[in-house]
């Protein structure tokens, strides 16, 4: 081997090394710049909730604290008749709450058929953090909440009681599409560390059968979070969401490379295809968020919306839908 050839080989090796390092640096920069910064999103027109969540995020707080803060605000709002205090009761006149929460580590907590406790989402978090269980129900959930220091109070307001009394005149039970343009609140957040969390809370369908539970407290149906991929949450007729394990489906679609928007659309299309003509009589909406801070929203019918709060501001955005 000549000296000239030897130096040529060494030079070629050095160039290959530099090219490799250069490519790695570009990849690292791309992965860093892909993250859009903290963001909170929620189902329906909930600017106060997304603002509360984003406040936590902007101060360096965690995504799990953010979604809990946003949901708690809505639970305490007596004017919203589908969440927390002031929620419309079941046909027996009982206000019962369902909620779940899921953090970036895959931990989750849930409560179903909870009575006389306003902040169901916080009880769900206590289930996640203070017990070996995922879900507590009914009297057991209430007793646990009391033991954790949550106050007991009547959740049926005069307004909701009057509406229930009026409903009893006909006792007609039929889910109403986009009732008051709001029902369940589902929230997703991405914090400055790039961690995802989600929460979902509701008082369920108005005038439901006593004991009815929908999708909202069901991990995989009303909410699912995979910190490697993304998160999704649902609203609408819970029975149809449960049958399709909607939120889990959306996250798995994102795992396969779909954007949050594409994943939401596929999930809605599947529900419509499976229910056929029946889908004209009920609403389902999904929102999703990935690790980059990209979000999506889609529903069966017009009227659904997503509220987004990030560095650009707090805004409510109409969701596209299957039926225009």
Q: Is 235 a catalytic residue?
A: no
Residue 110: how many other CB atoms lie within 10 Å = 31
- As given in the structure block, the two tokens for residue 49 are 């909730």
Query: Rounded to whole angstroms, how far apart are CA atoms 128 and 225?
Result: 14
Give the full edge-to-edge strand order of the sheet including 313-318. 135-137, 108-115, 96-102, 196-202, 185-190, 39-43, 305-310, 313-318
Of the candidates 36, 285, 46, 38, the residue with the CA atom closest to the CA atom of residue 187:
46
Cβ atoms 211, 91 nearer than 8 A: no
Of the candidates 81, 79, 80, 57, the residue with the CA atom closest to the CA atom of residue 67:
57
Of the candidates 179, 291, 169, the residue with the CA atom closest to the CA atom of residue 225:
291
Contacts of 38 (CB under 8 A, 6+ apart): 54, 57, 58, 189, 190, 191, 192, 293, 310, 311
Out of 50, 96, 184, 202, pick the active-site residue: 184
Cβ atoms 197, 78 nearer than 8 A: no
| 73 membership: H or E segment, kind and range | helix 63-75
Query: Rounded to whole angstroms, how far apart are CA atoms 74 and 14?
Result: 61
- Which residues have a catalytic role annotated? 184
């Amino acid at each position: 081997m000549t000296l000239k050839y030897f130096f040529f080989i060494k030079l070629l090796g050095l160039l290959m090394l530099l090219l490799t390092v250069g490519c790695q640096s570009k990849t690292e920069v791309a992965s860093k710049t892909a993250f859009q910064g903290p963001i909170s999103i929620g189902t329906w027109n909930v600017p106060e909730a997304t603002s509360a969540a984003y406040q936590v995020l902007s101060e360096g707080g965690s995504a799990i604290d953010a979604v809990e803060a946003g949901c708690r605000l809505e639970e305490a709002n007596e004017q919203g008749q589908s969440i927390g205090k002031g929620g419309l009761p079941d046909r027996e006149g009982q206000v019962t709450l369902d909620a779940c929460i899921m953090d970036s580590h895959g931990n989750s907590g849930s409560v179903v058929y909870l009575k006389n406790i306003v902040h169901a989402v916080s009880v769900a978090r206590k289930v996640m953090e203070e017990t070996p269980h995922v879900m507590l129900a009914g009297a057991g959930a209430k007793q646990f909440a009391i033991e954790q220091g949550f106050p007991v109070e009547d959740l049926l307001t005069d307004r909701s009681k009057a509406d229930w009394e009026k409903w009893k005149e006909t006792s007609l039970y039929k889910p109403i599409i986009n009732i008051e343009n709001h029902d369940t609140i589902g929230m997703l957040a991405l914090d400055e560390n790039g961690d995802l969390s989600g929460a979902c809370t509701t008082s369920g369908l108005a005038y439901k059968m006593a004991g009815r539970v929908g999708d909202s407290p069901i991990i995989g149906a009303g909410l699912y979070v995979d910190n490697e991929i993304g998160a999704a949450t649902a609203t609408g007729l819970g029975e149809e969401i449960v049958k399709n394990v909607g939120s889990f489906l959306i996250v798995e679609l994102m795992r396969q490379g779909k954007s949050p928007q594409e994943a939401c659309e596929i999930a809605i299309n599947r529900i419509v295809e499976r229910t056929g003509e029946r889908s004209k009589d009920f609403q389902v909406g999904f929102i999703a968020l990935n690790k980059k801070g990209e979000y999506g929203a889609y529903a069966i019918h017009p009227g659904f919306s997503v509220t987004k709060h990030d560095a650009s501001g707090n805004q409510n955005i109409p969701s596209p839908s299957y039926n225009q």
